[in-house]
Amino acid sequence: MPIRPDLSGQAILITGAARGLGRSMALTLAQCGALIGVTDVDASGCEVVADDIGKAGGRALALPADVAVRAQVLRVAGALAAANGGRLDAVVNNAMLLRYEPIEQVSEETLTRMVSIGIHGSFWGAQALLAHYDAQRGGAIINMASPVAEKGFPNTAAYSLVKGAIVTLTKSLAAELGPRNVRVNALAPGSVPTPGALGLNDKAEYERRTRTIPMRRLGREEDNAEACAFLLSPEASFINGEILHVDGGIAAAG
Ligand SMILES: NC(=O)c1ccc[n+]([C@@H]2O[C@H](COP(=O)([O-])OP(=O)(O)OC[C@H]3O[C@@H](n4cnc5c(N)ncnc54)[C@H](O)[C@@H]3O)[C@@H](O)[C@H]2O)c1
């Protein structure tokens, strides 16, 4: 059993938490003692994850929402805060539509949706935290970046422009909100075969990648979840504006 950071007393909203990295972060942060708001467009998936957390002895609320819609994000954040004496401690802006396509095949609808979920959704998540955090106690925002924000990968024009914007948003908000006792950081996981990512890469591509990743293995959902728990812990109280790579060295290797 790993020694986990103590997040008891924290209420944390996690978007895109019905599966993949979001689900894994929800389960881990709940094990650290936090009350979790499980948010996703997949309403039944939210129920299943909240149920799993409850069965494991944790606390969670299923709070379905589309993160592209500001009012829905503010509504679920308000509901989670209401269940925690009016206070929200952190938001993890994880929801995203994962899609790789050659640039000329990217439709107007797909690009708009990816920008609305990834960029607008992270923006609304930050506003939601600010509406409910306690300035004395402080707050935290975690955004989800990616190695594609720094390196060029073919067929990722739409995805990488969203992730590049998320890195910029993270740094900008770290500067703006630090004086208000809110830390803003990002996780940049690499090559984790989640349900969404498996739709992008076939088995042969993952085998090829495994040979080039410096750690010679794919990422695991838990690698990212443990890093998330650390970033939200009191031990990380001076870490602000950081893009924490959890990618086995992909971004560093160039
Ligand atoms: N898997 C990887 O290798 C990897 C690498 C780098 C970054 N990331 C990032 O990690 C995050 C999670 O990715 P994943 O691999 O778990 O993907 P995933 O597709 O398995 O999960 C994404 C979740 O987001 C939800 N979602 C989509 N649109 C939504 C919306 N409008 N509102 C609310 N929820 C919505 C989906 O229903 C799904 O449950 C994403 O931001 C992704 O870009 C993943």
Which is the closest atom of ligand 1 to the Cα of 195?
20
C-alpha 86 to ligand 1 mean position (Å): 28
Q: pTM, whole model, 2 decimals?
A: 0.98
Catalytically active residues are: 159
As a whole number, mean pLDDT of residues 162-183 equals: 98
Rounded Cα gap, residues 158 and 142, in angstroms: 21
Residue nearest to atom 20 of ligand 1 (CA): 196
Q: Tens digits of per-residue pLDDT, 51-60? A: 999 999 999 9
Task: Return the pLDDT at 1.
Answer: 60
Region 98-121: mean pLDDT is: 98
Whether ligand 1 lies within 6 angstroms of the CB of 144 is answered as yes
Per-residue confidence (pLDDT) for residue 239, from 0 to 100: 98
pLDDT bucket at 3, cuts 50 / 70 / 90: confident
The contacts of residue 91 (CB under 8 Å, 6+ apart) are 12, 13, 14, 15, 77, 125, 126, 128, 129, 140, 141, 142
Structure confidence by residue, pLDDT tens digits, 69-91: 999 999 999 999 999 999 999 99
Mean residue pLDDT across the chain: 96
The b-or-e profile of 42-66 (16+ CB within 10 A means b, else e) is eeebbbebbebbeeeebbbbbbbbb
d(CA 31, CA 226): 11
CB distance 191 to ligand 1 below 6 Å: yes
Q: Is the CB of 196 under 6 A from ligand 1?
A: yes
Homologous superfamily assigned to 11-244:
NAD(P)-binding Rossmann-like Domain (3.40.50.720)
Average pLDDT of the segment spanning 162-181: 98
